[in-house]
Amino acid sequence: MNTLSLLPKANLDRRQLLAQLFFNPADWLFVSGLAGASKDAAALTDDGANLFSMAGTMGAAVPMGLGLALSASARNVAVITGDGEMLMGIGALATVASARPNKLAMVCLDNAMHGETGGQTGHTARGTNLELIARGAGIDETMTISEPEQIADAAKFLVQSPGPKFLVCRVMPTAPSTYKRNMNPLECRMRFRQAFLSAG
Amino acid sequence: MTDDHPHAEWSGVMFAMLRDAGIKLFCYIPDAGNDRLVSLAEADNETRAVLLTSEEEGLAVCAGADLVGERGILCMQSSGVGNCPNYLSLAGGGGFPLLMMITMRGDYGEQNPWQYPMGKAVEPILEALDVLTFKVQHRDDLEKSTLAVLNATSKGAQSGAIILSQKFLGAKRF
């Protein structure tokens, strides 16, 4: 079977999505991969100290989230990534499955294109199925949503049974949030550390 | 663990120094040179071994640990340094004090021609991306170099790599 036929048509608005998945963002530690995913994550958290967003190191979001989840194992950790970023570091799904952190939720905003560089076609437009890859990597808890009515169930999915969760969100090919976030990695690192460590 | 492992003695010394310095996550791609060190990290209750698919993941894992005040190390063979440069942006640009342990191939006594290009490129790559290097050529260098890289990374806010040469490790036979 052509796996493209298994992929549902995207009907989610990315600018509305994260606020419905994470209705209390202050309860989470966030890592976001470059470009659109980070713009949406910054809009969600008001570029807060509980977010470390990237504007480079494509592919690093999931393994950085793993490092957080293994080191702050009592906290809910969320990775916000895109389909292109996820595929560049796709092996990290096996690393996550193998390490099995209890409270790591990975959310992939799949717009089937490389939005930041001009909207060039991505692999998921041609049949690459990220949820199947995650399952094959050994992630037991996976889900794909494509319609607004599914968001409430997806929000529950992200905090359900222990173990890493992988959620693919098929979003429409519209622009991400326009939030102007801090792009200085050193400032963002210090901001995150100070907020986390001072909270005890 | 048996004591006849070829790297048992120094691995025990280095592991104790790293653990006592607060290194918790030992991220690794398996190599003959880091085999015993990783086994010790797996066996110890205070540390955890994290098997990677590709070396650069370990830099991101260690950076994630740093965000919440914890420490990790990336253990890899010299060839793995070639997978790391983009993520080493986290060192110079992001100020993450990344710690690496590199077991060399493609230097002293190497017989495999495939190993030489990356063997020669390890130090230029690390230098270009603002990572300090601390070499172990002889057994006497081990404690001093380990302490130096821990000082640089844990206290000195630098990124650093301890490099175990083939003169120290012994070259693989073909």
Q: What are the b/e assignments for B92-104, b being 16+ CB within 10 Å? A: bbbbbbbbbbbbb
pLDDT tens-place string over residues A153-176: 999 999 988 999 999 999 999 999
Tell me what the mean pLDDT of segment B62-90 comes to. Answer: 98
Ordered by where they begin, the domains of chain A are: 3-171 (3.40.50.970)
Cβ neighbours for A80, distance < 8 A, ≥ 6 positions apart: A18, A30, A31, A32, A33, A37, A38, A40, A41, A61, A107, A109
Chain A interface includes B46 (CB < 8 A): no
Dihedral sign, CA of B15, B16, B21, B24? positive
The residue written with tokens 């519209």 in the block is A174
Q: Where are the domains of chain B?
A: 8-168
- pTM confidence score: 0.97
Residue A34 with chain B: CB contacts under 8 Å: none
Enumerate residues 68 to 87 of chain B having a beta carbon within 8 A of any beta carbon in chain A. 68-70, 72, 86-87
Amino acid B174: pLDDT: 76
Chain B interface includes A71 (CB < 8 A): yes
A5 confidence band (pLDDT: 50, 70, 90): low
Cβ–Cβ gap A89/B57 under 8 Å: yes
CATH architecture of B8-168: 3-Layer(aba) Sandwich (3.40)
Please check the confidence at residue B103 and state whether its pLDDT lies above 90. yes
Residue A58 with chain B: CB contacts under 8 Å: 86
Cα A151 → chain centroid: 15
| Residue among A69, A91, A186 whose CB faces B95 most closely | A186
Share above pLDDT 70 across residues of chain A, in percent, rounded to a whole number: 96
- Angle between helix axes A61-71 and A92-99 (nearest 10 degrees) is 20
Mean pLDDT, chain A, as a whole number? 95
Alpha-carbon gap, residue A137 to A131, rounded angstroms? 10
